[in-house]
Structure 1
Amino acid sequence: MFASLPLTALRAFESASRLLSFKAAAEELSVTPTAVSHQIRSLETWLGVQLFERLPRQVRLTEGGERLFHSLHGAFLEVAQSVDTLRPQRSGTSLTISTTAAFAALWLVPRLGRFYARHPNISLRLDTHCEVIDLHQDASVDLVVRYSLDDYPNLYGQCLFDETFGVYGSPEQVSLAATRVPTLISVRWHNSKLYAHGWEAWCAQSGETWLSARPAMREYDEEHYALQAAIAGQGLVLASNILVSDNVASGLLVPYRGDVQVDGAGYSALCVPGRERHPPVRAFFAWLQEETSISGQVALTTSTFRPRHIT
């Protein structure tokens, strides 16, 4: 049934597609770039379809190449994981998760102690760079937690939170806001589509006329800096109910007009289909489900990813 499949050529194609480089694929496979090019040419001849566009100093997948890569990468990943389950269990294993610095600092890291207590043999590494990772291209990342308005139909995931934005401050600042225009604290979003006019939307819904009074404004690049400024009594912050939850629970911040909430996007955990069966990834998904259920902030689904609020 599989005797005619050109497995060597398919392996070279998967590597070159994931890395978008014949040279990098050659290094990964410990062969020469000429050998990789020859294998891909033979695969294109065998299929009768061009898989790559050869451009100056780079290559790009054709539509047919994209289709073959996504199915082939998932199949190779599943085979690798099946083989790995037959090997003697190592004393420990690793898990790499990519997310935003704010989500890591304000929600994930404070709770990770419970994950380590349950899974002491899993070594977890956090990647908090701002660049969006293509999970089909970068196999070094096991799972991402993203905040976005986009859809990811080719990924498996859990929809973690439906998010809203409200106004919070120290108890003193919240009391003063009833009698004078406060200093307003906000975040400069890296993605301008995400809540670009947050204070305007909140003031319109609440009926507060602060913006017409031209209040002092403080803007930060990351949510955790904005929350620290509010905790220090520097003004009122427009913040995610998810990221502010621990500070509210501890009393460091209290809501101002807590009934007024503006819709945000959402957070979701995502991985390449098939990778959710890898034991460390499966353990982290299960732990996330428990943690979000404990916090009472979630309506969680698990499937090929089609959530209501999308990240």
Structure 2
Amino acid sequence: MSQSPYDLPPLTALASFEAAARHESFKAAAQELNVTPAAISHQVKALEAELRQVLFRRHHRGVSLTETGAYLLVALQRGFEEMAGAVDQLRSRATRPAVTIRATTAVSALWLTPRLGAFWRAHGHITVAQNVSDLDSGGEDSDLAIHYGDMARDSGDCRLLIHDCIKPLASPRFAARHAVRRVADFERLPLVHVDRAETGWTSWRDWCRALGHEGPVGGGLRVNNYVIGLQAAEDDMGAVLGWEGLTAGLERAGRLVPLLDVSVPSPLDFYIKVSPHASHQAHLLCDWLVGAGAAP
């Protein structure tokens, strides 16, 4: 018969002693462990016999720890606390999603969420949670993080999602009222300007300059959230710049239409970064989003 690698007394005896020592009462320990006081006394006596040490002083109205008993109690409590911590971590892991992914509101609403539906249909056993933040930074708290930036300047496991282009969009009603034939026409049109805290977000002035127009651009509404900006454009409040990878669904649905048949390559890319501690399920989702399975 194989021997246990731990030279310990029976765990039942150790648990009985710990409860009795913590309460300084065999009766209270018995109530906690749902046994009889006699059972606690038996386990403690067996432990004392094995250790050849007296652990309790017996009194008419109770018990108190000897110095040896106090030493053993501290050691057992330290061990039980470490075991309890490990068990608590395992329980919390069981209730956490298998994969967490961070994205901005725009990326989540316009690109990621439609693709997660297809992923779940193919991999229903993998739960996914989105951490949505309009600060396109961080991601250390997630298995995967989608960024808009220069992937070459990032470190770690980064993979390209969208090499995008940017074009002017508006609602069909707005487009019918405002004929646009050249870039200079955007000087007179009401525009939706998206002011983002992150660097690299292309403005109307940036877009026009990329096409050789150095003049002014129209005024209009200013927002700090791209989804709100798109909604404003749908509500006929002005033209908006559309990142094709994000707005393709809105165009297919006819909610937004191009105002001019011209586009500018995005100076930055949408890419996904994988945490060094990402699980196999996270890598599977990453491959899905990068590869052919990403089609909505």
Q: Same fold (TM over 0.5)?
A: yes
Q: TM-score, normalised by structure 2?
A: 0.59
Return the match for 1:183 from 190, 206, 209: 190
Letter in 2 for 1:184: L
Letter paired with 1:250 = A
Structure 2 Cα separation of the partners of residues 152 and 174 of structure 1: 39
Q: What pairs up with 1:68-217 in 2 under 5 angstroms?
A: 94-129=98-133, 130=135, 132-133=137-138, 135=140, 138=141, 141-149=142-150, 151=152, 154-178=155-179, 181-191=188-198, 193-195=199-201, 198-206=203-211, 212=216, 215-217=218-220
Residue matched to 2:274: 271
Q: How many residues align?
A: 199
Query: CA deviation digits over 1:43-71, x for unaligned, max 9?
Result: xxxxxxxxxxxxxxxxxxxxxxxxxxxxx
Q: Output one character per residue of 1:16-62: Cα deviation in whole Å (capped at 9) or x when no partner.
A: xxxxxxxxxxxxxx78xxxxxxxxxxxxxxxxxxxxxxxxxxxxxxx
- Is contact 1:166-1:262 (8 Å) kept? no
**Which moves more between the two structures, 108-117 or 257-266?**
257-266
1:206 Cα deviation from its structure 2 partner: 4.6
- Percent of aligned pairs with the same residue? 22
Which has the higher Rg, Structure 1 or Structure 2?
A: 2
Instruction: Compute the displacement of 1:104 (Å).
Output: 0.2
**Among candidates 229, 233, 241, match of residue 226 of structure 1:** 229
Contact 1:98-1:143 within 8 A present in 2 as well: yes
Q: Is the 8 A contact 1:167 1:238 kept in 2?
A: yes
Q: Are residues 153 and 203 of structure 1, via their aligned partners in 2, closer, same or farther at CA, if it must alter by over 3 Å?
A: closer
Deviations 1:127-176 (A, max 9, x none): 112262263xx4xx111111123645541121111122211001221233
Distance in 1 (CA, whole Å) between partners of 2:136 and 2:163 is 23
Q: What is the aligned-residue RMSD (CA, Å)?
A: 3.0
Tell me the CA shift for residue 208 of structure 1: 6.4
In structure 2, the residue corresponding to 1:242 is in which secondary structure?
helix
Q: Which whole-Å CA distance do the structure 1 matches of 2:129 and 2:175 have between them?
A: 38
CA contact (8 A) 1:92 1:122 kept: no
The amino acid across from 2:159 in the alignment is Q
Q: For the residues of structure 2 that align with 1:153 and 1:202, how far apart are their CA atoms?
A: 25
Structure 1 residues not aligned, in runs of 5+: 1-29, 32-83, 85-89, 296-311
Q: CA, structure 1 residues 293+101, in 2 after alignment: closer, same or farther (shift >3 Å)?
A: closer
The change in CA–CA distance for 1:231 and 1:153 in structure 2 (over 3 A counts) is: closer
**1:237 Cα shift?**
0.4
**One-letter amino acid of the counterpart of residue 108, structure 1:** L
- The amino acid across from 1:175 in the alignment is A
1:117 to partner: Cα distance = 0.9
Change in CA separation of 1:201 and 1:116 when aligned onto 2, cut-off 3 Å: same
Distance 1:291 1:248, change over 3 A: farther
Change (3 A) 1:205 1:158: closer
Separation (CA, whole Å) in 2 of partners of 1:185 and 1:247: 16
Deviations 1:193-214 (A, max 9, x none): 2135x211333345668x64x6
Name the amino acid aligned to 1:155. Answer: G
Give the Cα–Cα distance (whole angstroms) in 1 for the partners of residues 286 and 211 of structure 2: 37
Structure 2 matches for 1:255-294, cutoff 5 A? Answer: 255-273=258-276, 275=278, 278-291=279-292, 294=295
Tell me the residue number matched to 1:253: 256
Letter in 2 for 1:166: K
Quick one: distance in 1 between partners of 2:153 and 2:124?
A: 32
Shift of 1:239: 2.2
Amino acid at match of 2:287: A
Q: Counterpart of 1:190 in 2: which secondary structure? A: coil
Please say if residues 154 and 272 of structure 1, whose CA atoms lie closer than 8 Å, have aligned partners that are also in contact.
no
Q: TM-score, normalised by structure 1?
A: 0.56
After TM superposition, give the deviation of residue 186 of structure 1 in Å.
Answer: 2.0
Q: Which segments of 5 or more consecutive residues in structure 2 lack a partner in the other structure?
A: 1-80, 83-89
Aligned equivalents of 1:262 and 1:159: distance in 2?
A: 15
